[in-house]
Structure 1
């Protein structure tokens, strides 16, 4: 009887100790699980992830802005696809050729000095022959006639270039309005200024040619007055300035 009681007592104590160990282990596992899923820690992790995502978004935005800036710089550095330089140079050359082709007295300083002194003398000596006087008068008339012709040719050349000027102006204005960057706008403006300078050069050529004709006409008038004075002096001193010639009024 006493042995059975002792055995039951030992088994009971063993069960109590085992149950105590189990109960002691259960709170420990629950505490560990609560530390892993701590709401404050989770919220902090979410906040850090949000900040990291915001930084990434800012970096992406910065890269987009840099790419946009590079594209704008590329547009600003793009050259104008059209150039009127060759057309303007050709117009300059045509006008210059017209001025270089003037007859008799050209726009050359040395040639003007030599020819002008010979054709338009300041005075005629008393020994100058009538034949020389008549020859000089004819040459002066021919020179003035050619000068007015040259002036008309230059004017005609400038008028013919008006259509080209209008076409170039329209093209450059359209290119300026369709420009994608600052460089294209500047280049279109520079070419328009060059076109304006070319028009001023044409106007200068016209004025020069007309002034040349007027100057030669005035020099011709002055030389004719000197010639008339020389002929009058000869007539008054020698009486040989005019010689009567028989004139037949009607044919028999």
Structure 2
């Protein structure tokens, strides 16, 4: 289990994260939602050691985050940041292979190759796996980075805006893969999301942020409610039911 206690982060005189405490359900898909500047990505960064916290504590499997050795943490937890840029001339397959580094230390085994190919197949990149990254569209490149995270084969998968640059078809495919990681492989997935409808349809648990604080947290059905969303986003919402799923319309 991952537990976050009293996280604070300030940039200059502004508190961007203020007294955030929460627990991440194990083996489930948890989405962080909320307006721009609510602190979602900063919290995600702090619980992966990419952003230094001013105070507070993060524990993973009962062990403080700072007590984990970097290589051991990389076998337990994988993160894809919102902006990714690789200047090296790499093919998709070579990029995805980087996900195996914590396990192989650069010497790929048949087991590593198996994970690499499975991740490429998951993301429907098989026919283009030998293409170079600079030959890809933004959406294809995003899928390649997701495949790299999948190949890392960690128990915890953290994704910051994974639907960036993806069209509707590949956004749905991406969320289906994320559900599969949770339901079939038992992985704990944390996603920063802007699209409330995708969060509504594919999340088990939602944590809503506002002004650097946790505004609401709980099972999806408790958060995707008209009054809750209107309080968080300060705008009118209309929620419809379609095939037993909530569809949120904001206007």
Same fold (TM over 0.5): no
- TM-score class, shorter-chain normalisation, is under 0.3
Greater Rg by CA: 1
- Structure having the higher strand fraction is 2
